Amino acid sequence: MIKSFAQEHFEIKQFFRKAAEFIRLIMKNALLNNTLSAFATMISGVGTAVVLWYGALQVKAENMSLGSLLYFYSSVGVLFSPLITLTNMNVITQRLLTVLGRVFSILDEEVTIKDSENAVDLAEVNGAVSFRHVWLKYEGSDEYALKDINFDVPPGCTVSLVGPSGAGKSSLVNLLLRLYDPTEGDILIDGHNIKDVKLTSLRSHIGLVPQEAILFSGTIAQNIRYGRFDATPQQVINAAKTAEIHDFICSLPEKYETQIGERGMSLSGGQKQRLALAMALLTDPAILILDDSTSALDAETETRLWATLNRIMANRTCFVITHRISTAMSAQLILVLDKGRIVERGTHEELIARSGIYRRLFEQQRTAA
């Protein structure tokens, strides 16, 4: 980014400004520290001098023996050195308190989304999903991201979510996984309010392929297996085949053992999307969510992938977020979102019959194609 905007000069200046500030603080710290210990040394020096001077006077006046003075003098020495150490302790303590303050500010962060007291496990999920008057306002924002969302999806049905970016499509599916809780309203899966279901149980039944796939440092096999640690190597390969990424993996010298992520090779957006898809498919979820999951693929791979995806989607509930009407049109239910509201709903034919946003998008994309 910096190179492409030719901003090296600006960034170097920024860096030097930060570095200069850092050096200034280090100097200040050293100055204060040294002043403090010089002060402590001076006090101990002066103290010792006073003891010796007064002691010498007493010895001379024969009020005290030389032995007592020397004994007292060495005791004072023993007393002063811990005192000097104590003044240095303060510096160390202050530094530690700053560090601990930061650590505790993270540890003290309240976890708002957690299991309710009587949370239950869902052993089997058919995949009926209902949203009942769901409103969502993100913390720190004053606009509702979702407004009065209502719909019912029977098990095995495919729902397409379309609408401009920022309409609330990703927010809607994130609520299903309880990544956030709705501000108002309820979400039901097979009639169970998801607030009363154990989080691990809820999430094990839902496969999410996020808009921006995030992979972990490790091998390709480890990444795919993240969905289900007990999967067999054959299951991993099958998931990769379905996600149309197996051939690519086999073209790599180390195949499934190739390191990816921070310390390994980097993948293209489309390759990441397909790995994330393999990860989600491995868990064989009752509810599958594809958040713009094929947007980074070339047209040919995308068509091939959708042929297999349609087969996989046939016997489970699916939410498909997409920009392409050609992808959305085959769904049994299409929800058109705009500014957090469902503005149109129905099948492709029903929505085309109306002259709304959906029909306009359809015509725009048809003329573009």
Ligand X SMILES: Nc1ncnc2c1ncn2[C@@H]1O[C@H](COP(=O)(O)OP(=O)(O)O)[C@@H](O)[C@H]1O
Residues that bind ligand X (CB under 6 A): 138, 141, 145, 163, 165-171
**Nearest residue (CB) to Mg ion, 170 versus 271:** 170
Q: Minimal distance in Å, beta carbon 174 to ligand X?
A: 7
DSSP code of residue 120: B
| Residue 170 binds to Mg ion (criterion: CB under 5 A) | yes
Helix (H, G, I), strand (E, B) or coil at 155: coil
- Using CB under 5 A, count the residues that bind Mg ion: 2
Task: Look up residue 199 and give its amino acid.
Answer: L
**Nearest residue (CB) to ligand X, 163 versus 227:** 163
8 Å CB contact between 111 and 162: no
Q: Minimal distance in Å, beta carbon 304 to ligand X?
A: 26
Question: Which conformational region is residue 39 in: left (phi greater than 0), alpha (psi within -120 to 50 degrees), or beta?
Answer: alpha
Question: Hunting for tokens 């994130």 — which residue is that?
Answer: 174
127 contact, one of ligand X, Mg ion, none, CB 5-8 Å limit per kind: none
DSSP string, 270-339: HHHHHHHHHHHHHT--SEEEEESTTTTS-HHHHHHHHHHHHHHHTTSEEEEE-S-HHHHTTSSEEEEEET
73 contact, one of ligand X, Mg ion, none, CB 5-8 Å limit per kind: none
Q: Minimal distance in Å, beta carbon 169 to Mg ion?
A: 5
Q: Minimal distance in Å, beta carbon 191 to Mg ion?
A: 28
Two tokens, residue 102: 């930061």
**Nearest residue (CB) to ligand X, 136 versus 224:** 136
**Nearest residue (CB) to ligand X, 147 versus 169:** 169
What are the angstrom distances between the C-alpha of 141 and each of 5, 103, 133, 138, 144?
32, 27, 20, 6, 8
168 contact, one of Mg ion, ligand X, none, CB 5-8 Å limit per kind: ligand X
The Cα–Cα gap between 237 and 256 comes to 9
**Nearest residue (CB) to Mg ion, 145 versus 231:** 145
210 contact, one of Mg ion, ligand X, none, CB 5-8 Å limit per kind: none
171 contact, one of ligand X, Mg ion, none, CB 5-8 Å limit per kind: ligand X
The Cα–Cα gap between 360 and 164 comes to 12
**What is the Cβ-side half-sphere exposure of residue 344, based on CA atoms within 13 angstroms?**
21
251 contact, one of ligand X, Mg ion, none, CB 5-8 Å limit per kind: none
Two tokens, residue 368: 């573009």
182 contact, one of Mg ion, ligand X, none, CB 5-8 Å limit per kind: none
**What is the Cβ-side half-sphere exposure of residue 157, based on CA atoms within 13 angstroms?**
16
Residue 364: enclosing H or E segment and its boundaries? helix 357-368
**Nearest residue (CB) to Mg ion, 125 versus 337:** 337
Show contacts with Mg ion in window 207-266 (CB under 5 A). Answer: 211
| Residue 174 binds to Mg ion (criterion: CB under 5 A) | no
Q: Minimal distance in Å, beta carbon 171 to Mg ion?
A: 8
Helix (H, G, I), strand (E, B) or coil at 338: strand
205 contact, one of ligand X, Mg ion, none, CB 5-8 Å limit per kind: none
Q: Minimal distance in Å, beta carbon 209 to ligand X?
A: 14
Q: Minimal distance in Å, beta carbon 30 to ligand X?
A: 43
Pairing of strands 287-291, 206-209: parallel
DSSP code of residue 196: G
Which chain residues interact with Mg ion by CB under 5 A? 170, 211
